[in-house]
């Protein structure tokens, strides 16, 4: 009996096993510490206000609660602050309350999405939620998906499935086609798949940042002449620098003609597809074989939250299934560790599930619509005589002064980033076609029009 073991003084039961009362006490204190940090978020700026954080490593004996909470406070004060209304540099919005709670529940459960027996309720939840997303974007009854820790992994899962589906798993002539403005993660994907730069074909973009269809057709013909085997074409639904959307209808028609896998990198803009918001270019995404969607990038789902959706789940099973010989399985249940690269995975889908249900479809639309409206307001009120604007239908704007040399532009953008940071506005400085730009991402729902007006005053004052 456990009572007998506890009474046996030769058996050591450490204090860190804890009790319910202890857990409640610590959770209350941790919650208060986090809430205190949130309460100061609009005053302390987007970047850390305290430079005293020290990375203390474990010692022979465990640290006291007081020491640990002191270090937690220091950690918070040295962290990036996505809650501040001036945090406009990246695709990192403030977290939803119920998504934070989902993270807590997932950690407390410590279930493993590797297999059904290790996560019975969460396995069914992830399966159902992926199916719901797949149906919302127009996929059929054979569709579904898998969650992964970030868009790079979701894209990699898709590309490995595409290459396997084409029977090119070990073919060194395998080719992936992307636009020149596609995300840098595809360079990583190619390397991981045992390929090199010659296996990644980049297609030119037009003056709207969209993949050029004529250049795509020519590149496909060139690949065929050179006996290269195209295993996938990637259409980007929301490029990183300007939020452009590739011409998915035309690309899907080409893929159908040539029997090529179409993957859509919708890490930025894919979430718009589950709403009725009229975004140009979202039509025909249900013609894809796979699509990546990252709810973490705009609707406040805590990191990480990425989904790979596929039109036919058999492709994932055929690609990644190993049989998991050390796991007991039910005949009618698919172990989720058999559907992607990752084996052990946390129950991250809980925070997505709670966040979506907390918002509802109307709430999701409100967040997305308001993000696009803030972007439109920014573009309408920035001095177009002074600045060259790069933007698309989503919530991202990049810009730089007109008439400057590349050297002067690089100097201006660095100077302006530093100046804006001193005034609690954090913008990013991406490299685009050989020169630096400034970029503003309007996904922070704590940013209101008065904040944008203040930002524009600093920018429009440029001489």
pLDDT band at 463 (very low <50, low <70, confident <90, very high): low
Mean pLDDT of 272-277: 94
Which pLDDT belongs to residue 452? 98
Mean per-residue pLDDT, 248-254: 97
Closest CA to 296 of 425, 151, 127, 105: 151
**Least confidently predicted of 138-152, 175-189, 316-330:** 316-330
Question: Rounded mean pLDDT of the chain?
Answer: 92
CATH number of 102-356: 3.40.640.10
pLDDT over 90 (residue 49): no
Q: Report pLDDT for 9.
A: 53
Q: Please, which pLDDT band fits residue 5 given cuts at 50, 70 and 90?
A: very low
User: Taking 50 as the threshold, does the pLDDT of residue 1 lie above it?
Assistant: no
Report the distance separating Cα 16 and Cα 225, nearest Å. Answer: 66
What digits encode the pLDDT tens for the residues 275-315? 999 998 888 999 999 999 999 999 999 999 999 999 999 99
* pLDDT tens-digit readout, 328-386: 667 778 899 999 999 999 999 999 999 999 999 999 999 999 999 999 999 999 999 99
Residues in the chain: 463
With tokens 């990198």, the residue in question is 265
Q: CATH number of the domain at 367-460, please?
A: 3.90.1150.170
pLDDT of residue 18: 64
| 388 within 8 A of 402, measured Cβ to Cβ | yes
pLDDT digits (tens, 9 = 90+) for 389-398: 999 999 999 9
Domain boundaries, the chain: 16-81, 102-356, 367-460
What 3 state SS string does the chain have?
A: CHHHHHHCCCCCCCHHHCCHHHHHHHHHHHHHHHHHHHHCHHHHCCCCCCCCCCCCCCCCCCCCHHHHHHHHHHHHHCCCCCCCCCECCCCCCCCCHHHHHHHHHHHHHCCCCCCHHHCHHHHHHHHHHHHHHHHHCCCCCCCEEEEECCHHHHHHHHHHHHHHHCCCCCCCCEEEEEECCCCCHHHHHHHHCCCCHHHEEEECECCCCCECHHHHHHHHHHHHHCCCEEEEEEEEECCCCCCCECCHHHHHHHHHHHCCCEEEEECCCHHHHHCCCCCCCCCCHHHCCEEEECHHHCCCCCCCCEEEEECCCHHHHHHHCCCCCCCCCCCCCCCHHHCCCCCCCCCCHHHHHHHHHHHHHHHHHHHHHHHHHHHHHHHHHCCCCCEEEEECCCCEEEEEECCCCHHHHHHHHHHHHHHHHHCCCECECCEECCEECEEEECCCCCCCHHHHHHHHHHHHCCC
pLDDT band at 13 (very low <50, low <70, confident <90, very high): very low
Whether the CA torsion 197, 200, 204, 210 is positive or negative: it is negative
Q: Which of 115, 193, 161, 184 is nearest to 340 (CA)?
A: 161
Average pLDDT of span 395-413:
94
pLDDT the model gives residue 154: 97
Asked which of 50-54, 62-66, 75-79, 257-261 is least confident by mean pLDDT, the reply is: 50-54
Residue 392 structure tokens: 């698309």
Please name which of 242, 176, 250, 184 lies closest in space to residue 211, comparing C-alpha atoms: 250
pLDDT of residue 283: 86
Predicted pLDDT at 119: 95
pLDDT of residue 7: 54
């Amino acid at each position: 009996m456990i009572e007998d073991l506890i009474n046996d003084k030769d058996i050591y039961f450490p204090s860190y096993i804890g009790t319910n009362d202890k857990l409640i006490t610590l959770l209350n204190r941790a919650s208060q510490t986090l809430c205190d940090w949130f309460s100061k978020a609009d005053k302390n700026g987007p970047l850390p206000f305290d430079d005293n954080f020290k990375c203390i490593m474990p010692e022979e004996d465990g640290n006291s609660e007081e020491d640990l909470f002191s270090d937690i406070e220091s950690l918070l004060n040295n962290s990036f602050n996505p809650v501040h209304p001036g945090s406009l540099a990246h695709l990192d919005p403030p977290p939803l309350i119920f998504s934070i709670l989902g993270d807590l529940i997932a950690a407390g459960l410590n279930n493993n999405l590797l297999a059904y027996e290790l996560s019975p309720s969460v396995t069914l939840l992830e399966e159902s939620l992926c199916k719901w997303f797949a149906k919302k974007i127009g996929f059929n009854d054979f569709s579904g998906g898998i969650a992964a820790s970030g868009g790079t992994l979701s894209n990699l899962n898709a590309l490995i499935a595409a290459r396997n589906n084409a029977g090119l798993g070990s073919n060194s002539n395998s080719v992936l086609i992307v636009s020149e403005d596609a995300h840098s993660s595809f360079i990583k994907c190619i390397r991981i798949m045992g390929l090199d730069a010659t296996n990644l074909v980049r297609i030119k973009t037009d003056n709207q940042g969209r993949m050029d269809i004529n250049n795509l057709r020519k590149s496909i013909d060139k690949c065929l002449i050179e006996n290269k085997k195209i295993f996938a074409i990637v259409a980007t639904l929301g490029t990183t620098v300007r939020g452009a959307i590739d011409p998915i209808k035309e690309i899907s028609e080409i893929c159908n003609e040539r029997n090529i896998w179409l993957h859509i990198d919708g890490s930025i803009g894919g979430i718009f597809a589950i709403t009725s918001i009229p975004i140009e270019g979202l039509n025909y995404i249900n013609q894809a074989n796979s699509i990546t969607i990252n709810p973490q990038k705009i609707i406040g789902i805590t990191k990480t939250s990425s989904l790979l959706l596929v039109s036919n789940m058999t492709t994932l099973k055929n690609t990644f299934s190993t049989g998991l010989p050390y796991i007991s399985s039910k005949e009618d249940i698919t172990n989720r560790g058999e559907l992607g690269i990752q084996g052990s995975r946390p129950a991250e889908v809980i925070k997505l599930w709670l966040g979506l249900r907390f918002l509802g479809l109307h709430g999701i639309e409100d967040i997305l619509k308001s993000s696009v409206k803030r972007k439109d307001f920014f573009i309408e009120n920035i001095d177009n005589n002074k600045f060259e604007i790069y933007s698309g239908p989503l919530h991202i704007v990049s810009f730089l002064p007109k008439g400057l040399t590349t050297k002067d532009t690089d100097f201006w953008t660095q100077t302006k980033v530093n100046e804006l940071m001193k005034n609690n506005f954090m913008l990013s400085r991406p490299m685009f076609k050989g020169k630096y730009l400034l970029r503003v991402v309007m996904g922070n729902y704590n940013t209101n029009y008065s904040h944008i007006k203040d930002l524009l005053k600093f920018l429009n004052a440029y001489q």
